[in-house]
């Protein structure tokens, strides 16, 4: 006998406590296999496809697209066949944290097919005897016009021609409990943006499927009802030479009344990536006593060196990769800045590996992918890894592991056309190097005024891990490498 197993939103790791449903990959009634992706969710870190640990038939889905669910909330239920042995009830052993698929959940129920009922509530077989005598009149009086969808709450005779009356209350109760017959995410988004409950619509597609035309019609109908419900505006009084103007008999001035209504404007929920960024930056400001120092550097020789590298053939070297190579060399000289602070133990922990984060602005918001073991990579390897992570960030496919674990961050805000910034440290790191735009500026070179490619560098650091002398030494070494790239030859 079939059993219904409940699959809950698993713990995706990295301290994530909730996820937003982006797109369902299965419908109610679909047959799924073990480890088949069933839903796409967006966490505060990345987009993730969630695989199902059970094989069977999907009997229910919990949550509409766009809804946030906490970890542990039901995602869907799957009807599986009766196991012959205990081994068949074992889960998939999928590697996502918190699946708990080693045994079946305690909540189980049997799948009982519900016989179709007539509007009077009788089973179809019992009502068949008297159906022939009433078929002619019932069809004409109660059947809605085919191919047309409308809101449930629209009274008969009040909609456009061709729309039938409301459905029976029993049908309404079934619709409120069952899944919404919508496939297209565009239809769901259109309804969500206009505050329309899809459960109040009857679809004109196959098997009652709600189409975009159904949603658009319901919105037009609601607009028509809203206009007819508004009272007519009072006509302006006519002013004639013999009739005094209404302002002449104006009442005495009254004190203004303060309204307790909420302020208008656009309200955007702080959730997903935007919410994670807000929480992390707020924590950084609360916990880290940061300071910032600046220096201008002549980047002309660095730009020439990059041009020479790319002219020699092979993969092109990015400017970001050269700056990353300079940063790892500077951290080798000043390891105090590749650290984190453990306030519970009241210790500063210097880290022996450099996992370099870099700020990347995407359509989904600011993300900081992490290049693992950046200190052990050359310019070509850094260029390739930056390109891979940037492409994944733009596509929203970064994994939580690729967005966490950084020890130092490189922030190239010069791509926005600005010179300087005082960035907020990426908690729990201890420092961030900022790079402004590289532009021609007058510069004293070898005792003469010349036009050179100048960049502004800034270092924001945690004052708990070091003093200004260490931070200044780090930034000065970075500037020296930018001005004289041959300095790096000492550490290659």
Residues 207 and 310 reside in one and the same domain: no
Query: Does 169 reside within a domain?
Result: no
Residues 216 and 303 reside in one and the same domain: no
Q: What's the CATH number where 214 sits?
A: 4.10.320.10
Angle at the Cα of 86 from the Cα atoms of 84 and 89, rounded to 5 degrees:
90
Residue pLDDT, tens place only, 87-106: 344 454 444 443 444 444 44
The alpha carbon of 480 is separated from its chain's Cα centroid by a whole number of angstroms, namely 41
Which residues sit opposite 350 in a β-bridge?
339
Residues noted as catalytic: 463, 467
DSSP string, 221-238: HHHHHHHHHSPPPPPPPP
Angle at the Cα of 191 from the Cα atoms of 189 and 196, rounded to 5 degrees:
150
With a pLDDT cut of 70, the percent of the chain lying above it is: 68
CA distance 111 to 99: 24
Residue pLDDT, tens place only, 51-88: 898 899 999 999 888 888 888 889 999 988 744 444 34
CB 339 within 8 Å of CB 351: yes
Residues 216 and 346 reside in one and the same domain: no
CA distance 15 to 297: 40
Residue 331: pLDDT over 90: yes
Q: Which positions ≥6 away from 421 have C-beta within 8 Å?
A: 411, 413, 434, 436, 458
Query: Does 410 reside within a domain?
Result: yes
Task: Please state the rounded mean pLDDT for residues 177-192.
Answer: 67
The closest of 303, 308, 300 to 322, measured between CA atoms, is: 303
The answer to whether the predicted template modeling score (pTM) of the entire model surpasses 0.85 is no
Residues 216 and 295 reside in one and the same domain: no
Residues 64 and 199 reside in one and the same domain: no
Q: How many residues does the chain have?
A: 492
Number of domains into which the chain is organized: 3
Residue 151: pLDDT over 90: no
At 131, the pLDDT band (50, 70, 90 cuts) reads very low
Task: Please state the rounded mean pLDDT for residues 420-427.
Answer: 90
CB 486 within 8 Å of CB 479: no
Which residues sit opposite 449 in a β-bridge?
444
Final residue belonging to a domain, choices 46, 80, 114: 80
Task: Please state the rounded mean pLDDT for residues 28-57.
Answer: 85
CA distance 61 to 71: 16
Residue pLDDT, tens place only, 195-251: 888 878 878 776 677 887 788 888 888 877 765 555 544 444 444 444 444 444 444
What residue numbers bound the domain in which 195 lies? Answer: 187-220
Question: 29-43, 121-135, 191-205: which has the highest mean pLDDT?
Answer: 29-43
Residue 21: pLDDT over 60: yes
Query: Does 20 reside within a domain?
Result: yes
Q: What is the chain's mean pLDDT, rounded? A: 76
Residue 147: pLDDT over 80: no
Query: Does 423 reside within a domain?
Result: yes
pLDDT at residue 190, rounded to an integer: 80
């Amino acid at each position: 006998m079939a059993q219904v197993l409940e699959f809950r939103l698993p713990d995706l790791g990295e301290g994530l406590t909730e996820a937003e449903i982006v797109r369902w990959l299965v419908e109610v009634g679909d047959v799924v296999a073990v480890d088949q992706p069933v839903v796409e969710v967006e966490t505060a870190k990345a987009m993730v496809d969630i695989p199902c640990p059970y094989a069977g038939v999907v009997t229910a889905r919990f949550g509409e697209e766009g809804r946030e669910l906490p970890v542990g909330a039901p995602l869907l239920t799957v009807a599986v066949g009766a196991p012959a042995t205990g081994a068949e009830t074992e889960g998939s052993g999928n590697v996502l944290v918190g699946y708990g698929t080693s045994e079946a959940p305690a909540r189980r129920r049997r799948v009982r097919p519900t016989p179709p009922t007539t509007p009077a509530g009788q089973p179809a077989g019992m009502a068949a005897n008297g159906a022939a005598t009433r078929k002619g009149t019932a069809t004409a009086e109660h059947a809605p016009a085919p191919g047309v969808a409308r809101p449930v709450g629209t009274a008969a005779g009040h909609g456009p021609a061709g729309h039938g009356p409301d459905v029976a209350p029993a049908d309404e109760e079934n619709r409120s409990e069952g899944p919404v017959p919508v496939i297209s995410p565009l239809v769901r988004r259109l309804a969500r943006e206009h505050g329309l409950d899809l459960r109040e619509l009857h679809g004109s597609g196959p098997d009652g499927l709600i189409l975009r035309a159904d949603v658009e019609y319901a919105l037009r109908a609601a607009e028509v009802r809203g206009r007819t419900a508004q009272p007519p505006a009072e006509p302006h009084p006519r002013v004639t030479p013999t009739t005094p103007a209404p302002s002449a008999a104006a009442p005495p001035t009254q004190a203004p009344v303060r309204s307790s209504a909420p302020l208008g404007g656009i309200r955007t929920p702080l959730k997903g990536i935007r919410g994670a960024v807000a929480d992390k930056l707020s924590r950084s400001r609360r916990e880290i006593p940061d300071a910032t120092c600046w220096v201008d550097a002549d980047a002309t020789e660095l730009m020439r060196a990059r041009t020479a590298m790319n002219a020699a053939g092979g993969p092109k070297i990015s400017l970001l990769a050269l700056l990353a190579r300079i940063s790892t060399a500077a951290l080798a000289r000043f390891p105090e800045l590749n650290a984190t602070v453990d306030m519970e133990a009241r210790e500063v922990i210097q880290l022996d590996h450099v996992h370099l984060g870099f700020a990347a602005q995407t359509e989904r918001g600011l993300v900081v992918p992490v290049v693992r073991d950046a200190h052990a990579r050359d310019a070509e390897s850094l260029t390739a890894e930056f390109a891979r992570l940037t492409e994944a960030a733009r596509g929203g496919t970064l994994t939580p592991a690729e967005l966490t674990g950084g020890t130092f961050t490189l922030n190239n805000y010069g791509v926005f056309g600005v010179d300087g910034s005082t960035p907020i440290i990426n908690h729990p790191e201890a420092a961030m190097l900022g790079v402004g735009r590289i532009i021609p500026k007058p510069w004293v070179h070898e005792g003469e005024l010349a036009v050179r490619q100048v960049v502004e560098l800034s270092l924001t650091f945690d004052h708990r891990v070091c003093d200004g002398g260490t931070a200044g030494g780090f930034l000065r070494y970075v500037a020296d490498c930018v001005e004289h790239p041959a300095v790096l030859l000492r550490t290659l």
